[in-house]
């Protein structure tokens, strides 16, 4: 696994871990990979605390951050809507459908003073404060999802020696990122958890590797064991970028009800749905996704209206899923098809060690096969 990107970034293994949990990010960096903290949804103030904690935990090991920078969203042609305009754009019928859904499943209301999770800001200008903050810390990588990073972010990365990466779900996305001047491209296939396109990892990775050569590519989507790591390198990727595999680790802050569902799920139990964010994102199938798929019901709204519409409903579900059967049926979260192989809670370190060991065994087996 001694690839150029691993050498350039001082990594023992080119295993990149996307996660929203600081403990997972730190544990991966400490185990020889690169923890990448998803910072969409953080305020600059809250993020400073998380990054300081990670840096204290990992010492001089490298880590990175990831931002959602959607190129297209409702109102993107005019720089986005402000908060009051957003509410006006949510149809009353959608609110009624959602109220009715939660009532049918018997999900209790929240107390009046309950604080809802922060919404993520769309539009790069609105994320400036967060971007300024991450560049003031000791990051080795900054990644952008759902669109190419703006030129000022790339220039800032170059000036500070921070690698700028971008996720691509098609070869066209990858070409656009290459033209923008990124240092690294994550080719993420259909089977991935979270926002995803429709081209499979096995097809996408070599296509992207050829299209953007000599820019290094990481393979993402459906990678959860060492054979898949070996396959990714065989496709021309210089490393792997995994998300789902960390969600059932000891360190992950995944909601316990959802973690249990993940441990029992098969690889057929996920669906690409716009019901959480307004853009197609792979997640666990549940009564929630079924309700939004029903043609009798309203279609999900575009980003960022859908997350705003469902924010309170999701908080009601997540806070009561451990004690309310209706909320438990609705509860779900982003996860990829590899969920079918996540059957046991393990430490982050043992996940990394198993990926590496199985990769080594696979390479040995292939050598034996080649020798005949
Ligand atoms: C729970 C979850 C949330 C995600 N959120 C983001 C995100 O905010 N930004 C991003 O670039 N990718 C996000 N992703 C996608 C990951 O970066 C990664 O590409 C994907 O998980 C790889 O496929 P896998 O899930 O099969 O490992 C998310 C994935 C998961 C599972």
Taking the alpha carbons of 277, 280, 282, 284 in that order, is the dihedral positive or negative? Answer: positive
Q: How far apart are the C-alpha atoms of 223 and 201, rounded to whole Å?
A: 9
Alpha carbon nearest to ligand 1 atom 15, residue: 194
**How many Cα neighbours within 13 Å face the side chain of 49?**
5
Q: Residues with Cβ within 6 A of ligand 1?
A: 18, 38, 40, 66, 68, 143, 145, 167, 188, 191-194, 220-223, 241-245, 334-336, 338
The Å distance, Cα 69 to ligand 1 centre, comes to 14
Alpha carbon nearest to ligand 1 atom 4, residue: 194
Q: How far apart are the C-alpha atoms of 138 and 347, rounded to whole Å?
A: 26
Alpha carbon nearest to ligand 1 atom 14, residue: 194
Alpha carbon nearest to ligand 1 atom 18, residue: 243
The Å distance, Cα 133 to ligand 1 centre, comes to 22
The minimum-distance atom of ligand 1 relative to the CA of 188 is: 19
Q: How far is CA 88 from CA 22, 82, 131, 140, in A?
A: 36, 10, 29, 41
User: Of 37, 187, 194, which is best to mutate to test ligand 1, by the most ligand atoms within 8 angstroms of its C-beta?
Assistant: 194
Q: For the chain, give me the number of helices (H) and strands (E)?
A: 15, 11
Tell me 339's DSSP state.
G
E-strand spans in the chain?
Answer: 15-19, 34-38, 63-68, 141-145, 163-168, 184-188, 194-195, 217-220, 239-242, 270-273, 281-284
283, 288, 287: which is closest to 272 by C-alpha? 283
The Å distance, Cα 222 to ligand 1 centre, comes to 11
pLDDT at 78: 77
Q: How far apart are the C-alpha atoms of 37 and 23, rounded to whole Å?
A: 10
The Å distance, Cα 364 to ligand 1 centre, comes to 30
Tokens standing for residue 367: 């050598």
Alpha carbon nearest to ligand 1 atom 6, residue: 194
Residue reference for tokens 């060991």: 357
The residues with which 64 forms a beta bridge, in sequence order, are 36, 141
User: Of 40, 117, 192, which is best to mutate to test ligand 1, by the most ligand atoms within 8 angstroms of its C-beta?
Assistant: 192
Tell me 28's DSSP state.
H
For helices 348-371 and 226-234, the axis angle rounded to 10 degrees is 60
pLDDT at 86: 86
The minimum-distance atom of ligand 1 relative to the CA of 220 is: 22
Q: How far apart are the C-alpha atoms of 225 and 99, rounded to whole Å?
A: 41
**How many residues make up the chain in this entry?**
372
- Tens of pLDDT, residue by residue over 102-144, are 999 999 999 888 888 777 667 666 688 899 999 999 999 999 9
With H, G, I as helix, E, B as strand and everything else as coil, classify residue 200: coil
The minimum-distance atom of ligand 1 relative to the CA of 67 is: 9
Maximum distance among all alpha carbons in the chain? 70
pLDDT at 368: 97
With H, G, I as helix, E, B as strand and everything else as coil, classify residue 193: coil
The Å distance, Cα 112 to ligand 1 centre, comes to 33
Query: If DSSP states are collapsed to H, E and C, what string results for 266-331?
Result: CCCCEEEECCCCCCCEEEECCHHHHHHHCCCCCCCCCCCHHHHHHHHHHHHHHHHCCCCHHHHHHC
pLDDT at 353: 98
Q: How far is CA 35 from CA 16, 23, 24, 218, in A?
A: 6, 9, 7, 14
The Å distance, Cα 192 to ligand 1 centre, comes to 7
Residues of the chain with pLDDT under 70: 120-121, 123-126
Q: What are the backbone angles phi and psi of residue 84, rounded to the nearest 5°?
A: -70, -35
pTM score, whole prediction: 0.97
């Amino acid at each position: 696994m001694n690839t150029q990107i691993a050498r350039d970034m001082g990594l023992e293994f080119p295993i990149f871990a996307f996660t929203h949990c600081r403990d997972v990010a730190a544990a991966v960096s400490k185990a020889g990979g690169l923890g990448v903290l998803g910072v969409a949804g953080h305020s600059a103030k809250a993020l400073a605390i998380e990054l300081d904690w990670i840096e204290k935990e990992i010492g001089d090991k490298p880590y990175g951050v990831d931002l959602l920078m959607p190129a297209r969203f409702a109102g993107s042609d005019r720089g986005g809507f402000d908060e009051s305009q957003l509410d006006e754009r949510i149809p009353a019928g959608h609110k009624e459908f959602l109220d009715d859904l939660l009532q049918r499943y018997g999900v209790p209301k929240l107390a009046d003073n309950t604080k809802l999770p922060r919404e993520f800001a769309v539009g790069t200008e609105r994320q400036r404060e967060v971007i300024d903050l991450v560049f003031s810390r000791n990051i080795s990588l900054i990644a952008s999802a759902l669109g190419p990073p703006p030129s000022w972010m790339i220039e800032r990365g170059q000036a500070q020696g921070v690698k700028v990466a971008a996720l691509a779900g098609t070869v066209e996305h990858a070409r656009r990122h290459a033209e923008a001047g990124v240092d690294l491209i994550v080719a993420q296939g259909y089977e991935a958890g979270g926002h995803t396109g429709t081209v499979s990892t096995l097809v996408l990775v070599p296509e992207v590797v050829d299209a953007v050569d000599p820019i290094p590519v990481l393979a993402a989507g459906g990678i959860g064991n060492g054979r898949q790591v070996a396959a990714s390198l065989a496709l021309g990727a210089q490393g792997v970028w995994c998300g789902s595999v960390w969600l059932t680790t000891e360190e992950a802050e995944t909601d316990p009800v959802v973690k249990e569902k993940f441990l029992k799920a098969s690889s057929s139990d996920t669906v690409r749905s716009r019901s959480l964010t307004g853009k197609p994102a792979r997640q666990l199938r549940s009564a929630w996704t079924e309700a939004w798929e029903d043609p009798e019901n309203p279609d999900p709204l575009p980003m960022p209206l859908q997350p705003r519409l469902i924010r309170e409903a999701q908080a009601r579900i997540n806070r009561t899923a451990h004690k309310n059967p209706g909320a438990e049926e609705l509860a779900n979260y982003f996860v990829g098809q590899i969920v079918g192989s996540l059957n046991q809670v393990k430490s982050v370190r043992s996940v990394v060690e198993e990926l590496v060991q199985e990769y080594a065994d696979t390479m040995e087996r292939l050598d034996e096969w080649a020798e005949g």
